[in-house]
């Protein structure tokens, strides 16, 4: 097909959705088609049908779809009156609902391929033969129009591409993503769990996960200390009054957990740390000489998410932010903003994110105030200072001001949003914050909100997928496993393990009676960076046989050389 007639991927995928609905009409005439849009990487179509679609059904549908694609039916559209549309779909309440809701004056169109006609706005390939390659992937439940009051439908997902080569490449990317899925690795490596009896979206960190979290926290603390931040700690539950003053009840209530009544007072779980830090600032008088003040907290917050959207560690109801709030004079704003950008870069580098993108999010035009310009200028200048290119999102700002989002791409190129830095003139005014300036007048400080890793839960989930569970040695929960070939070298293995522990490493001594091959396979599946084996010769020479993750060749070196090597690797965060 010549390029100028080649459909776009969304057109091709939406056409594939029609082809799927055609196949369903042929094989499962009882199923009522509803809607079938194109989505990222593919398409879906929702059907109302009592019996569930099985894996077998998907295969039969794929075969029928293949015939429809090969027949190369032209996509034929025609405009109709509302009455004609209503008549055409009189047995399908979903299509009827759509037909009745199309606004007066807008065209109503029907599109046909072969014997199948759908009510649709358009955006198709010219014929079904344009679909180069496709595959049906899964079936899931979905409420009609996403509303849980409505009937539950069956959503068949598929993917479609211009060529078989594109489809194959996509499927192998998908497989790689599944291999790295943090929910799967979290269980296999015993890092964390979500417990049904405790409720969805609330994370239990197991010992190995908590070790990694501790390392992340220490890394962050170190940077904060060097930059003059002061740690603070605030309550998880406070009077609702606080969030009335802050504006969260007005602007953020749908993301908050509901009120909790105690002794005629209403409390709320903390959705953000800012109001708490503001109370600490407000509790004392401040002179311009005290500023900037930088309060930091690993602050745990709770936000309401619908049960349908929660996902492992990356979308949860309770999480801990590496949060901090800076209070400064307008003159200090740019410098303070710059140092948060510097700190963000230190974090991204240490955790192996080389592809970082910055987005300046402005408030929607009708929400902008004169201070937005001051804030935006500070953000732009900070980025220019480090020659960091950035994009602009015209409406993505927070309810109290513009912000900078820090996005990364992981090892397999998937984008993630991590940190956010926001400039805020609103909350200091709402809480009537003050400092006494050099001229003796009381003035309002500016606030910067910043969380660079974002949520530790989400950050950990991203790291698990970024590294595929194979954490670099400085982060790995177990850095070294020591094991003996046979009983005779057991006490030597213990000595080696003790020496490494004494040097501050995280060591596991494997004294099980399993065969060596079995033990090595086991620790490899646990993705441990180093397995040290001690046999007869090693005991005599005072050496260890090093089996290093990702390195085919084994080598025998002295215990002291190994200690030196690992120390250097941990110090340089490899
Ligand atoms: Zn269509
Ligand atoms: Zn904040």
Distance 116 CA to ligand 1 centre (A): 11
Q: What's the confidence (pLDDT) of residue 397?
A: 78
Point out the catalytic residue in the list 325, 466, 519, 527. 325
Point out the catalytic residue in the list 25, 154, 321, 334. 321
Q: What's the confidence (pLDDT) of residue 2?
A: 47
Instruction: Tell me which ligand sits closest to the C-alpha of residue 18.
Output: 1
CB 322 within 8 A of CB 456: yes
The verdict on whether 184 is a catalytic residue reads no
Q: Find the mean pLDDT for residues 97-120.
A: 94
Q: Find the mean pLDDT for residues 215-225.
A: 97
pTM score of the predicted model:
0.85
Helices (H), 424-529: 426-430, 456-467, 490-502, 516-525
Q: What residues flank ion ligand 2 with Cβ within 5 A?
A: 274, 449
Provide the 10 A C-beta neighbour count for residue 351.
20
pLDDT digit string, tens, across residues 14-58: 999 999 999 999 999 999 999 999 999 999 999 999 999 999 999
Residue with tokens 């779909």: 89
- 226's enclosing H/E stretch is helix 207-226
**What structural domains does the chain harbor?**
3-179 (3.30.980.10), 203-235+271-467 (3.30.930.10), 480-571 (3.40.50.800)
Distance, in Å, from the CA atom of 563 to the CA atom of 500, rounded to the nearest integer, reads 7
The verdict on whether 14 is a catalytic residue reads no
Distance, in Å, from the CA atom of 325 to the CA atom of 449, rounded to the nearest integer, reads 5
Distance 130 CA to ligand 1 centre (A): 14
Distance 325 CA to ligand 2 centre (A): 6
Instruction: Tell me which ligand sits closest to the C-alpha of residue 125.
Output: 1
The verdict on whether 236 is a catalytic residue reads no
Distance 2 CA to ligand 1 centre (A): 22
DSSP letters spanning 325-364: EEEE-GGGHHHHHHHHHHHHHHHHHHTT--EEEEEEEPPP
The verdict on whether 325 is a catalytic residue reads yes
Distance, in Å, from the CA atom of 388 to the CA atom of 381, rounded to the nearest integer, reads 10
Q: Find the mean pLDDT for residues 406-425.
A: 91
Distance, in Å, from the CA atom of 166 to the CA atom of 173, rounded to the nearest integer, reads 11
Collapsing DSSP states into helix, strand and coil, what is residue 207?
Answer: helix
Distance 303 CA to ligand 2 centre (A): 14
The verdict on whether 403 is a catalytic residue reads yes
Distance 273 CA to ligand 2 centre (A): 6
Q: Parallel, antiparallel, or unpaired for β 260-262 and 237-239?
A: unpaired
Question: Within 13 Å of residue 424, how many CA atoms lie on the same side as its CB?
Answer: 24
Q: Find the mean pLDDT for residues 237-261.
A: 93
Q: Provide the pLDDT confidence category of residue 1 given band limits of 50, 70 and 90.
A: very low
pLDDT digit string, tens, across residues 57-106: 999 999 999 999 999 999 999 999 999 999 999 999 999 999 999 999 89
The verdict on whether 303 is a catalytic residue reads yes
Q: Find the mean pLDDT for residues 232-238.
A: 97
The verdict on whether 422 is a catalytic residue reads no
Distance 274 CA to ligand 2 centre (A): 4
DSSP letters spanning 9-22: HHHHHHHHHHHHHH
């Amino acid at each position: 097909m010549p390029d100028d007639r080649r459909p776009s991927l969304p057109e091709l995928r939406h056409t594939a959705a029609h082809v799927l609905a055609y196949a369903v009409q042929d094989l499962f005439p009882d199923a009522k088609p509803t809607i079938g849009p194109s989505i990222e990487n593919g398409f879906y179509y929702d059907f109302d049908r009592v019996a569930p679609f099985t894996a077998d059904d998907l295969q039969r549908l794929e075969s029928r779809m293949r015939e429809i694609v090969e027949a190369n039916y032209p996509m034929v559209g025609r405009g109709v009156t509302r009455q004609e549309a209503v008549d055409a779909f009189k047995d399908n309440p979903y299509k009827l609902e759509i037909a009745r809701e199309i606004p007066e004056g807008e065209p109503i169109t029907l599109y046909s391929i072969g014997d199948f006609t759908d009510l649709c706005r358009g955006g198709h390939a010219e014929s079904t033969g344009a679909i180069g390659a496709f595959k049906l992937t899964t079936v899931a439940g979905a409420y009609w129009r996403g509303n849980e009051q409505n009937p539950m439908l069956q959503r068949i997902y598929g993917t479609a591409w211009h060529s078989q080569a594109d489809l194959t490449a996509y499927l192998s990317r998908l497989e790689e993503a599944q291999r790295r899925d943090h929910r799967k690795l979290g269980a296999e490596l015993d890092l964390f769990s979500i417990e049904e009896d405790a409720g969805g979206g609330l994370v239990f960190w197991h010992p190995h996960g908590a070790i990694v979290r501790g390392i992340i926290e220490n890394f962050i603390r170190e940077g904060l200390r060097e930059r003059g931040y002061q740690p603070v700690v605030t309550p998880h539950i406070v009077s609702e009054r606080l969030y009335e003053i802050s504006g969260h009840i007005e602007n953020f209530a749908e993301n908050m957990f509901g009120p909790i009544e105690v002794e005629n007072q209403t409390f709320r779980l903390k959705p953000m740390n800012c109001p708490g830090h503001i109370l600490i600032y407000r509790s004392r008088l401040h002179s311009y000489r005290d500023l900037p003040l930088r309060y930091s907290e690993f602050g745990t917050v709770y936000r309401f998410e619908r049960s349908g959207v929660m996902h492992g560690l990356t979308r949860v109801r309770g999480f801990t932010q590496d949060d901090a709030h800076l209070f400064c004079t307008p003159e200090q704003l740019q410098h303070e903003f710059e140092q948060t950008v510097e700190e963000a870069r230190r974090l991204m580098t240490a955790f192996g994110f080389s592809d970082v993108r910055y987005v300046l999010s402005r408030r929607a035009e009708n929400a902008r105030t004169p201070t937005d310009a001051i804030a935006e200028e500070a953000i732009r200048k900070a980025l220019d200072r480090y020659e960091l290119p950035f994009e602009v999102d015209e409406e993505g700002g927070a309810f109290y001001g513009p912000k900078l989002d820090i996005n990364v791409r992981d090892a397999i190129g998937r984008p993630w949003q991590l940190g956010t830095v926001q400039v805020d003139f609103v909350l200091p005014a709402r809480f009537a914050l003050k400092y006494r300036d050099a001229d003796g007048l009381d003035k309002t400080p500016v606030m910067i909100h910043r969380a660079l890793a974002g949520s530790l839960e989400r950050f950990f989930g991203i790291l698990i997928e970024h590294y595929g569970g194979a954490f670099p040695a400085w982060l790995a929960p177990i850095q070294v496993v020591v094991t003996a070939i046979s009983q005779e070298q057991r006490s030597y293995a213990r000595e080696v393990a003790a020496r490494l522990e004494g040097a501050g490493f995280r060591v596991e001594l494997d004294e099980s009676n399993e065969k060596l091959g079995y033990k090595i396979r086991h620790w490899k599946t646990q993705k441990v960076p180093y397995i040290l084996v001690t046999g007869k010769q090693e005991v005599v020479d005072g050496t260890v046989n090093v089996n290093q993750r990702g390195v085919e060749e084994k080598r025998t070196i002295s215990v002291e050389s190994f200690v030196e090597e690992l120390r250097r690797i941990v110090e340089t965060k490899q």
